[in-house]
A and B are shown apart, each in its own frame.
Chain A
Amino acid sequence: MVTEKDKNGQAKKDVVIHVEGLVTGFGKKIIHDHLNLDVYRGEVLGVVGGSGSGKSVLLRTIIGLNEPREGIVEVFGRRAGHAEGSRMRALEVRWGVLFQEGALFSSQTVAENIQVPLREYTSMSQELMDEIAAMKIALVGLPPDTAQKLPSELSGGMKKRAGLARALALDPELLFLDEPTSGLDPISADHFDQLIAELQESLGLTVFMVTHDLDSLAAITDRVAVLIDKKIKTGTIEELRKDTTPWIHEYFSGPRGHAALAGAR
């Protein structure tokens, strides 16, 4: 949040995502009520909240899949959401999105999936695209023969990794992850966390991650945004642990929260 910068006495940081006064809803139900959020360059932001608190809706609104009722959504300083055609595309090539189940195109092999954005936006030779696909597949820690497989031949964890490889195809600066570790066993989830941390560091990514996974939060996020009462509260985990709002208190100080945070230290 804006005040946080002053509090920590830090220099003005580069804002990648700027959300101001966002209102969304379906029918009569309001999901976000004048919500504000800033995401800074190079940070990993974890977004948490109870079921139905609108985490995924927020993500979908930022990437333009959901029309906001009111408010400003800016990504890289440009209006998203209302942007259309070429302006939206200019934004889309600068971010990558990993959907919950990977959302791979089921009729194409993993390599072809990764090459979809390359084919659309660059004039690379097929040879280079093949190399890039192999490189991305290795980057997300999948075995080389995954390239020729169809999504239906992959396990859930592999699908997520392949989805991540596709999200990284255009070397985006910003990465959106929708529950990247849900449905993975703890070991795979840990590996996935490590992978994201490693990629974030080596590629200098900004990561916006919706998650339920306390271990992920503790392991890789710089800041956490909690969706509560249709608004958002952000801070580091340490700061949020001191928060007295019942839900936040319970979230971070309940048995699971305790274990995860203790493990991270």
Chain B
Amino acid sequence: MASIENAAKPDAWFTIEHGVFKAGGRWTITESARLDQQLRTLDAGPGDAITMDAGAVEKLDSTGAWLLLRTQRALEKTGRKIGAVQVPERYASLMANLDRDDKKQQSHPLPRMSPWRYRLYRIGKATVEAGRQGWRMLGYLGRVTAETGEMIGAPRKNLRFAAMAVQVEETGISALPIVGLLAFLIGIVLAYQGADQLKRFGAEIFTINLLGVGVLREIGGLITAIIVAGRSGSAFTAHLGSMRVNQEIDAMQTMGLNTVDTLVLPRVIGLVISLPLLTFYANIMALIGGAMMCYFDLGITIPVFLRQLNQAVDVGTLMVGLVKAPVFAFVIALVGCYEGFQVERNAASVGQLTTRSVVESVFLVIVLDAAFSVMFSVLGV
């Protein structure tokens, strides 16, 4: 660590003898750590009056002045009578300033918290904040749902098709390469792992069942939703957040534009349209990846693959996966927009809330997926 301290040859000194505190040398920040320790253990000796003479000080900065002042205060507390600290004329105003500030502060003592209490305080604060966050999000969900309902009731009035189409492009079409590639790779991985295990039973052919059911019911939808949460949910938050930082949202409100209508609904509806389509596409890509792996690893040809797949899954299996997509989309868009509106007018806030938005939407997607699984098993689907 770099240090500005003057450790080699101490340049500041003080003595206390016969009721006179004398200080001299360079009382600056470079000497402060050493002076601080020595002054804390200062033994004032006998006598009930002490004169503080710092007239021999060559250089004094605010840190040095504080040390002098603190020493004076400490000696006063021991019940002795202490006069004002004598300093060279040019430093008189500095001492006077600090003295005035310090007295002002003493009259409003700061409530100090012990570290443990402070920790407890922070845990409590975070807990309450999490509760409030959930409550507010629920409120927001209500508002968006109500406005969506209204909009569907009277679509011509305030639906913004152009904005919606842009969102479908941004969140759907632009996501095709990444979603396709990842789904394809997942298909390969799944087929490979399945084949590896099932080979032991001589049941390689059931790799296709595993792949078909696994991808269509669960993996395809989940992977797509998570990618989209990371890709589009974050983009929603960052975009709306920077609009807030820029006061664009304030400007819209003063013009009487409904921000839910203009900013939230196109995103929500756009994503609700594009996520199921993306999911379907991801399913196909994963199956292609799986089929390729089956061919190279197990020697299962495409016609055999298709025949087995046909036996393993039906339209119902596909629908079970697809039915979840709009719900995921709604949640991702909602969280993304909600967090965007929470951004405060500073740069750090955009980053913080974007992170929070992604974490929350991925969390909610997985929770919802689990809820769907429970529901389907109860319904016997």
Contact = CB atoms under 8 A, between A and B. Distances in A.
Contacts of A151: 346
Interface string B21-58: 00000001110110011000000000000000000000
A243 interface: no
Interface in A80-124: 86, 89, 93, 106-107, 120-124
Contact of A171 (B5, B28, B33): B28
Max chain A CB contacts within 10 Å: which of B63, B66, B91, B97? Answer: B63
Which bracket fits the contact residues of B? 20 to 34
Contacts of A122: 3-5, 29-30, 32-33
A124 B66 contact: no
A139 B348 contact: no
Contact of A144 (B28, B36, B97, B110): B110
Interface in B62-107: 62-63, 66, 70, 90-91, 93-94, 97-98, 101-102, 104-105
A106 B351 CA distance: 12
Nearest to B35: A128
A8 interface: no
Nearest to B94: A202
B2 A134 contact: no
Contacts of B109: 144
A214 B94 CA distance: 28
A201 B93 contact: yes
A135 interface: yes
B5 A123 contact: yes
Given A122-B3, A125-B37, A202-B94, A138 B32 contact: no
B53 to A, nearest CB: 20
B126 to A, nearest CB: 14
Max chain B CB contacts within 10 Å: which of A107, A128, A152, A204? Answer: A128
A123 B33 contact: yes
B62 A131 contact: no
B101 A139 contact: yes
Max chain B CB contacts within 10 Å: which of A93, A148, A152, A171? Answer: A171
B97 A152 contact: no
Contacts, number: 84
Contacts of B62: 135-136, 139, 168, 171, 203
Contacts of B36: 124-125, 128
Contacts of B348: 106-107, 152
Contact of A139 (B5, B90, B93, B98): B98
B32 to A, nearest CB: 6
A123 B31 CA distance: 10
B1 interface: yes
A134 B4 contact: no
A152 B102 contact: no
Interface string B344-358: 101011000000000
A135 B90 CA distance: 20
A192 to B, nearest CB: 16
B346 A128 contact: no
B29 to A, nearest CB: 5
Contacts of B150: none
Contacts of B102: 135, 138
Contact of B349 (A134, A138, A152, A203): A152
A77 interface: no
A170 interface: yes
B377 to A, nearest CB: 45
A237 interface: no
B61 interface: yes
B108 interface: yes
B63 A125 contact: no
A132 B63 contact: yes
Contacts of B346: 106, 151-152
Interface string A144-155: 110110011000
A138 B29 CA distance: 18
B346 to A, nearest CB: 6
A143 interface: yes
A67 interface: no
18 contacts: A120-B2, A121-B1, A121-B5, A122-B3, A122-B32, A124-B33, A125-B37, A132-B63, A132-B66, A135-B102, A138-B98, A138-B102, A139-B101, A144-B108, A148-B110, A152-B349, A202-B93, A203-B94
Given A122-B33, A128-B36, A144-B110, 14 more contacts: A106-B348, A122-B3, A122-B4, A123-B5, A123-B33, A125-B36, A132-B63, A135-B62, A136-B62, A138-B98, A201-B93, A203-B61, A203-B62, A203-B94
